[in-house]
């Protein structure tokens, strides 16, 4: 893990507040998108990227979640005008899209414990669309990103204990101490 020079968090736990960390979180899905384009179209800069994005979100269950999330980023929400699926919790079209994309495929990366990719996906998703999620949950989810990217996964007991701390109003420093010292290391 590396410290972000902008916000001093372990990368990318400063997202979404730190623009540099937020960019690193976006890059998690962007690298999936580029790999998909290369595999399917032999280039990372096809002329009709928007059309490809529309095709992908029409069949989210046929694609890895990173590809689907990146595809939504390329589409504009007709209701709120933002990136589709990432608008405020009051936007019905974004809520619908946010539900659909959870049918996408999860494939654990080689060498990581089963479930790592699922945890990464949920935490990336909340960090990229925190609206409507409690402050303590967003905090815990963004703090967990460096651990998950490192290929570690908390045990169920560790995750539950940390969540209970967050719900009881633990500070960011207290939570970070537990997440970075204990998670995945037992």
If one asks whether residue 24 binds Zn ion (CB under 5 A), the answer comes out as no
Count CA within 13 A, CB hemisphere, residue 132. 14
Give the Cβ contact number of residue 168 at 10 Å. Answer: 9
Shortest Å distance, C-beta 77 to Zn ion = 3
The stretch among 36-44, 72-80, 118-126, 143-151 that binds Zn ion (CB under 5 A) is 72-80
CB of 84 to Zn ion, least distance (A): 6
Binding of Zn ion by 22 (CB under 5 A): no
From candidates 64, 87, 146, 154, binder to Zn ion by CB under 5 A: 87
Rule CB under 5 A: say whether 91 interacts with Zn ion.
Answer: yes
Coil, strand or helix: which one is 3?
strand
- 7 near Zn ion (CB under 5 A): yes
Q: Which is nearer to Zn ion, 21 or 166 (CB)?
A: 21
Maximum pairwise Cα distance, the chain? 51
Min CB(23)–Zn ion separation in Å:
9
Task: Report d(CA 69, CA 64) in Å as an integer.
Answer: 9
Spatial contact of 84 and 76, defined as CB atoms under 8 Å apart: yes
Alpha-carbon separation of residue 81 from 41, 90, 93 (angstroms): 29, 13, 10
80 binding Zn ion? (CB under 5 A): yes
Would you tell me which residues interact with Zn ion (CB under 5 A)? 4, 6-7, 14, 18, 20-21, 77, 79-80, 87, 91, 93-94
């Amino acid at each position: 893990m590396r410290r972000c020079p902008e916000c001093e968090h372990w990368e990318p736990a400063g997202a979404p507040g730190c623009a540099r960390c937020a960019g690193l979180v976006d890059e998690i899905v962007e690298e999936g998108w580029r790999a998909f384009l290369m595999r399917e179209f032999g280039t990372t800069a096809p002329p009709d990227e928007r059309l490809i994005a529309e095709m992908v979100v029409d069949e989210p269950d046929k694609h890895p979640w990173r590809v689907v999330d990146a595809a939504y980023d390329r589409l504009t929400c007709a209701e709120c005008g933002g990136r589709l699926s990432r608008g405020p919790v009051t936007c019905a079209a974004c809520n619908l899209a946010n539900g659909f994309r959870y049918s996408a495929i999860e494939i654990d990366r080689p060498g990581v414990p089963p479930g790592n990719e699922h945890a990464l996906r949920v935490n990336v998703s909340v960090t990229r669309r925190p609206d409507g999620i409690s402050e303590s949950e967003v905090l815990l989810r963004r703090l967990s990103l460096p651990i998950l990217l490192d290929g570690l996964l908390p045990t169920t007991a560790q995750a539950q204990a940390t969540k209970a701390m967050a719900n009881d109003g633990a500070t960011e420093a207290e939570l970070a101490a537990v997440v970075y010292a204990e998670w995945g290391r037992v």
